[in-house]
A and B are shown apart, each in its own frame.
Chain A
Amino acid sequence: MRLDIGGWFESVIDWMLVNFAWFFDGAAWLVNQIVGGVEYVLIGLHPFLLIAVLAAAAAALTRSLGLTLFSAVAFLLIVSMGLWVESMSTLAVVLVSVLFSLAIGIPLGIWAALNSSVSAVVRPILDLMQAMPVFVYLIPAVFFFGVGRVPGIAATIVFSIPPAVRLTELGIRKLDAELLEAAMAFGAKKSLILKDVQLPLAFSSIMAGVNQVIMLALSMVVVAGLVGAGGLGGVVVQGVAQLDTARGFEGGLAVVILAVYLDRVTSGARSLGDVLRNRRIRKEQRAAAGTPAVAAVS
């Protein structure tokens, strides 16, 4: 006996297409506007100016001279390969996808951490989302949003949400039970415990999730080139279609540069919380050192 699961899924998609066309059209329009805006800024700025900004961001977040120099040189290489516009278009798509993924994934992760029933429901869905071959998302996405970058972004969001949810949930759940008890023993409300204890201590884990989301989004963007998302994905797909080794390699190299840059910078941001905290503490300690120390009792 053959169960026609694929057929059922298709009829669900058809039904959604008929009944929610207004929603998908609206969403597509909105996403297009946002990506267009980001892209307009990234491409509109003079490449050298933007490269300086990107290198400065690397310097601020990682405090590594090597990485700062690498980003400047690598982005100049992209310019010299003539792939600057495509790269910035891809970066715009990645940034917007990541923004949506985090806006959905982090709150969902918090909810799952605080409520075990939610966690039990969410986990298998995340497994499905992560294990499903990425191309499969593209098919209904094209039906919903037509050809172009919006289906690419939709597929990218679905594909890259899981680590945001998982690492947020993990970061909150792995908190030392005694710390939670201590916060409760002083009569703190759940909302204060979340804001004052759970989230600050989960920060590093959440940032690891952000890093993963960005990397997954970038890997998906190339696949999205198949449905006409343009950008570097388009360049690579074109290279494959025309068996143009040189073009394909250059497009691939530009993706690698973006990947390394985004990975290093977001890993640097992972310890940003510590850096800011240490700076605040040093300031307090310096201020305290200015006043005469209170002699220790006993």
Chain B
Amino acid sequence: MNASHLQALTTDHREEAMNPEVPFIQVEHLTKVFHPAKSRPLRLLPKKAANQGFVAVDDVSFQVQQGQIFVIMGLSGSGKSTIIRMLNRLIDVSDGSITVDGKDVRALAPAGLRAYRNQTINMVFQHFGLFPHKSLVHNVAFGLKVRGVDRETREAKAAEALALVGLGDRIHAMPDQLSGGMKQRVGLARALATDAEILLMDEPFSALDPLIRKDMQELLIKLQRNFKKTIVFVTHDLNEAMYLGDRIMVMKQGKSIQCGTAMDLLEAPADPYIEEFVAEVDRSKVVTAGMIVRPLDPSGAPPGDPDAGAVRVSDATVLNELLPIFAAGTERVEVVDQQGASVGHVTAEEVFTALSPKGYSNAS
């Protein structure tokens, strides 16, 4: 009876967490000031001057819903890596609040912080952060070893995670036997093996060749379909941000200057800085059918469904891939979601409009 009661409690808790109305990660007025090392010459300066630090993150607030990929985009020095490290407190917060799943992250004591890092929030690093003296399976099992899981279980779990990222046949290889892309697959597997709900990804694909990077982005999307992790992804590449992100926050000099969907940024850049970025974006590769689809008429399809036999595409299809379909003479395609249910139509005209840079559509 006790056990079932407990289970009921956990289920309630899960349902509450799953509620899309309650943000899973809530960050408010987050600020980080780095103080220069207290070197001797500074001590001689007037007290005020010595106390002035460097503001790396300046009053940033955002929310991430469970199961979303939230991308923080910015150039180097914009504070994006600092933010991601404050989420798991690898860097201490100067001011503001971070709430994850209802818990105040700043208030965690050392033991609570270790448990939080181990069970709730894992991280993937730009330069992979693999332990060179451990084979892949032991690298991936590290989080579980920290948790105190017995050897056999954690190695089985690690092998499973490696199979998920396509390295199931190389679990005993050493990191230095792998290419960069493979190393980052291991980094990803290591973060998946612990079943943590949140993944922090700090420019995980920036060190990879463009083709490999594309592969890895696709792998991430594929894994995300199955696992529905809550991902905070840092990048300096807006194409990548738009391809992966459910929502994107653009940072500049420690401040958040716009936060919204890829379409929001494309259609209404908040300032010239973002406009400049957006001009560089290849719309055909980031705008998907799902973003521009016209919803079904709520009254339902008219009798004698005109779409019978129409081409159906997934809502994640980028417009680039729709072009050949329209070139072949199709007038409109039907868009379906991941479950295969129809969500609406896209016409050739709509595709051309979406691909046109902002401004041209107003002129016509």
- On A, residues with C-beta under 8 Å from B are 178-179, 181-189, 192, 196-197, 200-201, 277, 281, 284-285, 288, 293-298
Contact = CB atoms under 8 A, between A and B. Distances in A.
B290 to A, nearest CB: 23
Contacts of B165: 297-298
Given A184-B90, A187-B118, A297 B133 contact: no
Interface stretch (B24-32, B167-175, B264-272): B167-175
Interface stretch (B98-106, B109-117, B293-301, B315-323): B109-117
B157 to A, nearest CB: 14
Contact of A181 (B122, B125, B171): B125
B142 interface: yes
B131 A197 contact: yes
Contacts of A277: 133
B172 A284 contact: yes
Contact of A178 (B129, B142, B200): B129
B343 interface: no
Contact of B171 (A185, A197, A200, A288): A288
A207 to B, nearest CB: 14
B146 A187 contact: yes
A294 B168 contact: yes
Contacts of B85: 181
B230 interface: no
B219 interface: yes
Given A184-B117, A185-B123, A297 B166 contact: yes
A200 B133 contact: yes
Q: Binding site of A, secondary structure by majority: helix, strand, loop or mixed?
A: helix
A188 B114 contact: yes
B146 A188 contact: yes
B117 A182 contact: no
Given A178-B125, A182-B125, A295-B168, A187 B135 contact: no
A288 B168 CA distance: 11
Interface residues of B, number: 44
A178 to B, nearest CB: 5
Given A293-B169, A298-B166, A186 B135 contact: no
Contacts of B164: 297
B82 interface: no
A297 B113 CA distance: 35
A298 B222 contact: yes
Nearest to A286: B172
Nearest to B114: A187
Contacts of B168: 293-297
Nearest to B129: A182
A201 B133 contact: yes
B114 A185 contact: no
A285 B172 contact: yes
Contact of A186 (B142, B163, B171, B172): B142
A296 B167 contact: yes
